[in-house]
Amino acid sequence: MRQIRIKVGWLLLAALLLFSGCRLAVAEKTAEETVSYEVTDASGAAVQFIRKPQRILTATTGTDEIVLGLVRPEKLVAVNENFGDSRHSNIAALTDKISVKIPRNPPVETVALLRPDVVFVQSWIPPENIAAMRDMGIPVVVCRTPQNLEDVRYDIRLIAAALGEKNRGERLVKLMDAKLKELTERIAQVPAEQKGKRIALISIMPSYGGKGCTFDDICRYTGSVNAKAAVGIRMGQSMTKEQLVDCNPDYLFLPTYNDASSREDRHSQDYLNDPSLTTLAAVRENHICHPRARYIYNVSQNIVFGIQEAAWLLYGDAFQQPQDCHLSVAGD
Q: Does the pTM of the predicted model rise above 0.85?
A: yes
Nearest alpha-carbon partner for 311 in 230, 248, 251: 251
Tens digit of each residue's pLDDT (9 = 90 or more) over 267-288: 888 888 888 888 999 999 999 9
What does the DSSP assignment read for 135-203? HTT--EEEEP--SSHHHHHHHHHHHHHHTT-HHHHHHHHHHHHHHHHHHHHHHHTS-GGG---EEEE--
- The pLDDT assigned to 270 comes to 80
- The pLDDT assigned to 258 comes to 85
User: Which portions of the chain are predicted below pLDDT 50?
Assistant: 1-32
Looking at CATH, the fold of the domain delimited by 34-164 is given as Rossmann fold (3.40.50)
Residue 310: CA atoms inside 13 Å, Cβ hemisphere, count?
Answer: 33
Q: Where are the domains of the chain?
A: 34-164, 191-319
Domains 34-164 and 191-319 share a fold: yes
- The pLDDT assigned to 268 comes to 81
Q: Which CATH architecture has domain 191-319?
A: 3-Layer(aba) Sandwich (3.40)
- The pLDDT assigned to 33 comes to 52
Tens digit of each residue's pLDDT (9 = 90 or more) over 150-165: 999 999 999 999 999 9
- The pLDDT assigned to 52 comes to 96
- The pLDDT assigned to 276 comes to 85
- The pLDDT assigned to 332 comes to 75
Nearest alpha-carbon partner for 120 in 183, 77, 178, 176: 77
